């Protein structure tokens, strides 16, 4: 059943808000609101339809509308525009200059998309009958409302990270995707990095043995970007860091580890506990900027989140995960990627150096050393032997045209290829909800200095669900235009 615009705006609290304007929807206040906890304790979800492994009817041509063309949107637009079997129908953003720049970028691809710049025009894009897929790359607070509206109007959805800010939004995504049988894929590009795909294949082939522990992080110095007047419209990302003390951006770190551990497909997250340090950077910078520019006075002495947030997760099978988030300290960019298994382990360092250690044997064991580090030649041999089909097929073109080392392109290509071939998507709505839910759960844990249970968005189906086919055993016929 399609939702009327007026009812939708009233339901979501979006009435009177522009797509990327100020005063965007707020998440739960972990310090004063117990809704976070009650959403876990009291939510009883009966699965309408299992979206894990669901293959929607194939689309020979995927007709697409793009909403949000500020930072991430243009990259998706360009990468999709060079694929065969797509038709770009609409471009939407509040800022005319952003839409103009996006349209100009694809002017030689042959597409003639319609332009939308009104404050509620994103709904018009979702209303169109000649669109199959909506890409959403707007401020975080608009991700879920837009995704819900799009699915309720018969569209598959690709939404940027995080897919949701609150637990209730996570449940809304799950229930709507199940009811409409429309895909809701969160565009977690870390799962498509060359290293992450290689590690996933090693894990699938049993190289690590049984997985014991994993680590992931989002450590990225964004301090000055967050305070920039030009980087994020109306400083929306800076405002997200006020009054929310937890891991605000968990999906980059948790996504690849969850795939290695087959979370939602044989194992599930059980509970977490998280701690945050103080803010040592953001308020100090606000004061320095305010001393020279009155614009920043409104950001002085605000409750900025702590510099470093560290979370520990335990799964139902007894595995553990460490997840970290720090976007203000002057540290090298790092995904903090670690896989530890019964037979081998792998560590990715900030400078992209990689170390792999195998379990020692009685012949190789040296005193206290319980492992043997492999040589560079051995590592190269592993890369050749276990290179995933997807990077064999598209690795070189991905490096040429895709952001984030090519991972963005692999993600967009793979998503379109799955839709065109009627294959399940690599990341389903349960992944979007689960990985996004870590954000509000960490806020609650920090505020209450306590462990907290993690919801099972699959309603028990995780025990029967099968691992995903991200490594390209099927499909693969979507061509890149020359």
DSSP per-residue string spanning 118-155: STTHHHHHHH-TT--EEEE-S-GGGHHHHHHHHHHTT-
- How far is 115 from 113, CA to CA, in rounded Å? 6
Give how far Cα 385 sits from Cα of 208, 259, 260, 395, Å. Answer: 15, 21, 18, 15
Token pair listed for 465: 């669900």
- How far is 226 from 241, CA to CA, in rounded Å? 9
* Residue 372: predicted pLDDT: 76
Q: In what order do the strands lie in the sheet with 320-326?
A: 371-373, 354-359, 344-348, 338-341, 211-219, 320-326, 309-315, 269-276, 452-453
Q: What are phi and psi of 2, to 5 degrees?
A: -80, 140
- Per-residue confidence in pLDDT tens, the chain, 482 aa: 444 444 544 444 444 333 333 333 333 344 434 444 545 544 678 898 999 999 999 999 999 999 999 989 999 999 999 999 999 999 999 999 999 999 999 999 999 999 999 999 999 999 999 999 999 999 999 999 999 999 999 999 999 999 999 999 999 999 999 999 999 999 999 999 999 999 999 999 999 999 999 999 999 999 999 999 999 999 999 999 999 999 999 999 999 999 999 999 999 999 999 999 999 999 999 999 999 999 999 999 999 999 999 999 999 999 999 999 999 999 999 999 999 999 999 999 876 667 888 876 656 555 555 567 888 899 999 999 999 999 999 999 999 997 788 999 999 999 999 999 999 999 999 999 999 999 999 999 999 999 999 999 999 999 999 998 888 877 889 999 97
Q: What are phi and psi of 278, to 5 degrees?
A: -75, 170
What angle do helix axes 194-204 and 376-386 make, rounded to 10 degrees? Answer: 80
Query: Of the CATH numbers 2.60.40.1120, 3.30.9.10, 2.130.10.10, 3.40.50.720, which one belongs to the domain with range 5-188?
Result: 3.40.50.720
In this structure, are residues 125 and 90 in contact, taking their beta carbons and an 8 Å threshold? yes
The kind and range of the H/E element at 256 are: helix 251-260
What angle do helix axes 407-421 and 389-401 make, rounded to 10 degrees? Answer: 120
Q: If you search the block for the tokens 């540290």, which residue do you land on?
A: 331
Token pair listed for 178: 């199940």
What angle do helix axes 429-448 and 251-260 make, rounded to 10 degrees? Answer: 120
Task: Give domain limits for the chain.
Answer: 5-188
Does pTM top 0.85 for this prediction?
Answer: yes
* Residue 404: predicted pLDDT: 83
The kind and range of the H/E element at 283 are: helix 282-292
Q: If you search the block for the tokens 């993690």, which residue do you land on?
A: 454
Q: Find out whether the peptide bond into 162 is cis, omega within 30 degrees of 0.
A: yes
């Amino acid at each position: 059943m399609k939702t009327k615009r007026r009812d939708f705006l009233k339901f979501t609290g979006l009435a009177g808000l522009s797509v990327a304007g100020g005063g965007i929807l707020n998440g739960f206040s972990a310090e004063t609101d117990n809704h976070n906890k009650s959403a876990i304790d009291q939510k009883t979800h009966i699965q309408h339809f299992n979206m894990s492994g669901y293959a929607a009817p194939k689309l020979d041509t995927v007709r697409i509308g793009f909403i949000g063309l500020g930072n991430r949107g243009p990259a998706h637009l360009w990468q999709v525009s060079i694929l065969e079997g797509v038709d770009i129908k609409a471009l939407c953003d509040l800022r005319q200059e952003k839409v103009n720049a996006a349209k100009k970028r694809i002017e030689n691809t042959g597409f003639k998309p319609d332009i939308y710049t009104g404050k509620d025009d994103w709904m018009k894009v979702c209303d169109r009958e000649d669109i199959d897929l909506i890409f959403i790359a707007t401020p975080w607070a608009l991700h879920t409302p837009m995704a819900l509206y799009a699915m309720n109007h018969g569209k598959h959805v690709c939404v940027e990270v995080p897919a949701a800010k609150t637990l209730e939004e996570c449940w809304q995504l799950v229930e709507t995707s199940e009811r409409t049988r429309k895909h809701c894929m969160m565009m977690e590009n870390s799962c498509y990095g060359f290293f992450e795909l290689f590690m996933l294949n090693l894990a699938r082939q049993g190289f690590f043995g049984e997985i014991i522990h994993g680590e992931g992080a989002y450590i990225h110095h964004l301090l000055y970007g967050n305070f920039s007047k030009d980087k994020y419209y109306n400083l929306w990302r800076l405002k997200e860091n006020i009054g929310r003390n937890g891991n605000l951006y968990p999906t980059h770190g948790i996504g690849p580890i969850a795939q290695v551990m087959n979370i939602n497909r044989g194992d599930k997250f059980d509970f977490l506990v998280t701690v945050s340090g103080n803010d040592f950077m953001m308020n100090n910078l606000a004061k320095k900027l305010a001393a020279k520019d009155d614009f920043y006075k409104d950001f002085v002495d605000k409750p900025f989140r702590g510099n470093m947030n560290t979370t520990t997760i335990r799964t139902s099978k007894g595995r553990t995960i460490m997840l970290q988030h720090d976007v203000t300290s002057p540290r090298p960019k790092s995904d903090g990627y670690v896989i530890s298994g019964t037979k081998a382990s792998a560590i990715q360092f900030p400078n992209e150096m990689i170390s792999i250690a195998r379990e020692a044997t009685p012949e190789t064991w040296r005193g206290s050393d319980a492992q043997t580090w492999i040589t560079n030649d051995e590592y190269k041999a592993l890369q050749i032997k276990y290179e995933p089909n997807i990077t064999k097929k598209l690795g070189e073109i991905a490096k040429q045209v895709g952001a984030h080392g090519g991972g963005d392109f692999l993600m967009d290509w793979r998503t379109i290829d799955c839709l065109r071939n009627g294959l399940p998507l690599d990341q389903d709505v349960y992944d979007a909800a689960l990985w996004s839910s870590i954000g509000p759960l960490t806020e609650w844990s920090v505020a209450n200095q306590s462990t907290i249970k993690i919801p099972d968005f699959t309603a028990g189906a995780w025990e029967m669900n099968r691992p995903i086919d991200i490594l390209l055993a099927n499909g693969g016929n979507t061509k890149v235009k020359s």
